């Protein structure tokens, strides 16, 4: 397992006939994981640097520096870019929803701001981003409502979603446009996502795919639920992207904070899970055209300290030293 990096199979080569293999990156990992990223991945996504709050912190003041650097890295290495994300209830600055005089912006005002943001951002990278997460996480996890409470919904009304897709399509007619969400394999939420996307298609909205975030763990979700979700979404005739894959080594009720390294049992279980997941992705590779991890190696993951403070996690195929884990070999070897 300690082969020199050059003789390792490369993820992007292993899956070249099936789907792109991507990683979320940030300014730190673009430096520290540079070699790993350029060797194994043929798609990247900004973990945070293309979110509304990062690109337009104040009205009309755009900050593209970090996003541009990521685009340069991608171009230099012939890597594709997934854009993430245009319209979301999180990481969006408060000014977007305010009228500047202590009140709330009007529906027309909010849609105009949405359009300006999308025109500017999508227009800047037109032709260089193959897919955008246009709307992120608009569906409610539970309860009778399809859509979750948010300022987008309460101010603009439910057609904020359709408008976002229309604006994005006008700004870059060549980009594939995605609706992206988590808990995507949970049956109750799956049906809501299906209902939302079907209604967009029925209205003729330019939407091309569904993003399955796939923040999964060694315990959840069940294989059958994943297959059912993929089949249900694929039945709409859309492309599917796995957009934020990671496999936490902790089950939901495991709140231990004392581990300095993952147990052998965790690594074995994670490898089995990864084997299952990639078998599923291969089975549905007619529909699944891109699989993005929400990071690349265990030295950096948003799951460190979340949702349990003071706890490290080890969710990827490569360890903190960028060496392949048992999970890597299961994914690669099951290919044969």
Residue nearer to ligand GLA on the CB measure, 43 or 136: 136
Q: What is the spatial distance between Cα 215 and Cα 143, in angstroms, rounded to a whole number?
A: 22
Token pair for 214: 């796939």
Task: Check residue 272 and report its DSSP letter.
Answer: H
For residue 240, give every residue at least 6 positions away whose Cβ sits within 8 Å of its Cβ, in sequence order, or none: 209, 210, 211, 212, 230, 233, 234, 284, 287, 288, 289
Token pair for 238: 């859309």
Rama region for 325: left / alpha / beta (φ>0; ψ in -120 to 50; rest) = beta
Active site residue 244: yes
User: Hey, is 319 helix, strand or coil?
Assistant: coil
Closest approach of Cβ 39 to ligand GLA, in Å?
24
* Residue in 49, 166, 184, 244 annotated catalytic: 244
Closest approach of Cβ 67 to ligand GLA, in Å?
14
* Residue in 49, 137, 166, 184 annotated catalytic: 137
Residue nearer to ligand GLA on the CB measure, 274 or 294: 294
Q: What is the spatial distance between Cα 254 and Cα 157, in angstroms, rounded to a whole number?
A: 39
Residue nearer to ligand GLA on the CB measure, 14 or 247: 247
The CA-based angle 233-15-67, given to 5 degrees, is 75
Active site residue 231: no
Contact 206, 165 (CB under 8 A): yes
Closest approach of Cβ 326 to ligand GLA, in Å?
25
The residue of the chain with the least Cβ separation from ligand GLA equals 302
Rama region for 93: left / alpha / beta (φ>0; ψ in -120 to 50; rest) = beta
Q: What is the spatial distance between Cα 318 and Cα 335, in angstroms, rounded to a whole number?
A: 18
Closest approach of Cβ 128 to ligand GLA, in Å?
20
Closest approach of Cβ 285 to ligand GLA, in Å?
23
Residue nearer to ligand GLA on the CB measure, 174 or 307: 307
The upper half-sphere exposure of residue 306, i.e. CA atoms within 13 Å in the direction of its Cβ, equals 5
Q: Pick the closest to residue 116 from 56, 177, 50, 204 (CA basis).
A: 56
Residue nearer to ligand GLA on the CB measure, 136 or 327: 136
Residue nearer to ligand GLA on the CB measure, 26 or 332: 26
Closest approach of Cβ 136 to ligand GLA, in Å?
5
Tell me which residues touch ligand GLA (CB under 6 A): 84, 136, 182, 213, 244, 302
Contact 158, 197 (CB under 8 A): no
Beta bridge partners of 179: 135, 210
Catalytic residues: 137, 244
């Amino acid at each position: 397992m300690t082969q020199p990096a050059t003789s390792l199979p490369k993820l992007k080569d292993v899956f070249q006939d099936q789907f792109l293999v991507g990683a979320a990156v940030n300014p730190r990992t673009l430096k520290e994981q540079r070699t790993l990223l350029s060797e194994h991945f043929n798609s990247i996504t900004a973990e945070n640097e293309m979110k509304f709050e990062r690109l337009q912190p104040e009205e009309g003041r755009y900050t593209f520096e970090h996003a541009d650097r990521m685009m340069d890295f991608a171009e230099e290495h012939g890597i594709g870019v997934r854009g993430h994300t245009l319209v979301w209830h999180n990481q969006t600055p408060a000014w977007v929803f305010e009228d500047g005089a202590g009140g709330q912006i009007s529906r027309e005002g909010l849609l105009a701001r949405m359009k300006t943001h999308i025109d500017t951002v999508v227009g800047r990278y037109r032709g260089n981003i193959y897919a955008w997460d246009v709307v992120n996480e608009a569906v409610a996890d539970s309860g009778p409502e399809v859509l979750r409470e948010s300022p987008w919904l309460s101010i603009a009304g439910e057609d904020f979603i359709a408008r976002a897709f229309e604006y994005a399509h006008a700004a870059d007619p060549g980009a594939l446009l995605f609706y992206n969400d988590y808990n995507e394999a949970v049956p109750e939420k799956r049906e809501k996502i299906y209902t939302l996307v079907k209604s967009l298609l029925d209205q003729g909205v330019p939407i091309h795919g569904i993003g399955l975030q796939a923040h999964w763990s060694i315990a959840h979700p069940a294989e059958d639920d994943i297959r059912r979700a993929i089949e249900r979404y694929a039945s709409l005739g859309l492309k599917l992207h796995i957009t934020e894959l990671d496999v936490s080594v902790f089950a939901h009720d495991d709140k231990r904070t004392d581990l300095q390294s993952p147990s052998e049992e965790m690594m074995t279980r994670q490898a089995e899970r990864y084997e299952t997941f990639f078998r599923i992705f291969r089975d549905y590779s007619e529909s699944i055209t891109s699989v993005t991890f929400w990071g690349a190696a265990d030295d950096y993951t948003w799951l460190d300290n979340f949702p349990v403070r003071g706890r490290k996690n080890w969710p990827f195929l490569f360890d903190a030293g960028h060496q392949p884990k048992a999970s890597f070999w299961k994914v690669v070897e099951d290919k044969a």
